[in-house]
Amino acid sequence: MLRPRTALVALSLATMLGCGGDESMRGATSLLQLSRGATPEQAARMAIDPWDADARAKGTMLLANGFFGGEPPYRALYLDRTGDTDPNVRAAALRGLALHGQPEDVPVIVELLADESTRVRLEAARALQRVHNPVAIDALILSTQIPIPVNPERTGEPEPIVRAEAAHALGQYAETRVIVPLISALDDRFLAVNRAARAALHTLTGQDLGLDRKAWFAWYDKNKAPFAGRTAYVYPVFERDRFFWEYIPFVPQPPNETTSTPAGFPPEISPRDDNPAG
């Protein structure tokens, strides 16, 4: 059975089926097709299927990838689906919020940084790279840290790929509480975490001291204005080179995304594309 909130979402979706909006998907370079053989109406019906989790996950993902996926009824669906019992559905919902979410959605995303599923935690960290709200800072800091078994209060994040994505997301928050955790992440056992922390530090400070943790701490101790050289945070995107057949006229191009700043990011900070570790 559908939950009451889900039923309301489904009712709202009923008014949207077959209709498109004018909001482009965040990071997209073109209007993406839902999929061959799946219409918006079919995708919406799949997304609210009360019996089939696979259908809900696929339908939610199809809607998220649609050019109209940022319309209010669909955003409401993504928020509702973050509470689904199936981790694949929760992950798909987070992808929808990554592409179309707004700052007010961040508290919901933050909760899933503690999800039991690694995939869900990963999607939550990536979503927080694309939606800006300082309420995420403390949870992101915790997600950059390795758990310490002897300290039950220090849960941390066991998966390095999630730690890396969380460290990168911290690069959008020019607050002193993020500096020490990011410098500490340079000492992580996994290079991906080191590189993400370095990228975040470079964005926040304009400095590039490599992966030298001691050098960063020395610089920070002597610097009273660590964010003076700050540049705009730009979230990571999917990008690949064209396959040989994609050079043929009229053949669809790779679904590469365009870099941008997160939704809700302060507009007075100008982007710069010289991040050495991004």
Q: What is the secondary structure of 21-89 as a DSSP string?
A: -SPPPTTBSSPPP-BTTB-HHHHHHHHT-SS-HHHHHHHHHHHHTSTTTTSHHHHHHHHHHTT-SSHHH
Query: What Rg value do the Cα atoms of the chain yield, rounded?
Result: 20
Checking if the pLDDT of 55 tops 70, the result is yes
Q: What is the pLDDT of residue 22?
A: 37
> Quick one: what percent of the chain has pLDDT higher than 90?
61
Most confident range, picked from 20-34, 77-91, 252-266: 77-91
Checking if the pLDDT of 25 tops 90, the result is no
pLDDT band at 268 (very low <50, low <70, confident <90, very high): low
DSSP designation for 257: B
Question: How far is residue 31 from each of residues 66, 180, 238, 247, measured CA to CA in Å?
Answer: 7, 41, 15, 19
**Any idea what the Cα angle at residue 102 is, between residues 105 and 75, rounded to 5°?**
75
pLDDT tens digits for 141-184?
Answer: 999 999 877 666 657 899 999 999 999 999 999 999 999 999 99
Q: Which residue has the higher pLDDT, 228 or 67?
A: 228
C-alpha to C-alpha distance for 252 and 259, rounded to whole angstroms: 20
pLDDT band at 238 (very low <50, low <70, confident <90, very high): low
What's the average model confidence in pLDDT over 191-208? 96
Checking if the pLDDT of 17 tops 70, the result is no
Token couple for 188: 């992580």
Q: What is the pLDDT of residue 68?
A: 79
Checking if the pLDDT of 118 tops 50, the result is yes
What's the average model confidence in pLDDT over 217-241? 86
Checking if the pLDDT of 8 tops 70, the result is no
Which residues have CB under 8 Å from 47's CB, separation 6+?
13, 55, 56, 59, 60, 62, 63, 77, 81
What is the pTM assigned to this prediction?
Answer: 0.82
Domains in the chain and their CATH numbers?
1-28+37-101 (no CATH), 134-240+254-278 (1.25.10.10)
Q: What is the pLDDT of residue 11?
A: 40
Give the type of residue at 135.
Answer: V
68: left (phi over 0), alpha (psi -120 to 50) or beta: alpha
Q: What mean pLDDT, rounded, does the chain reach? A: 82
Q: What is the pLDDT of residue 80?
A: 95
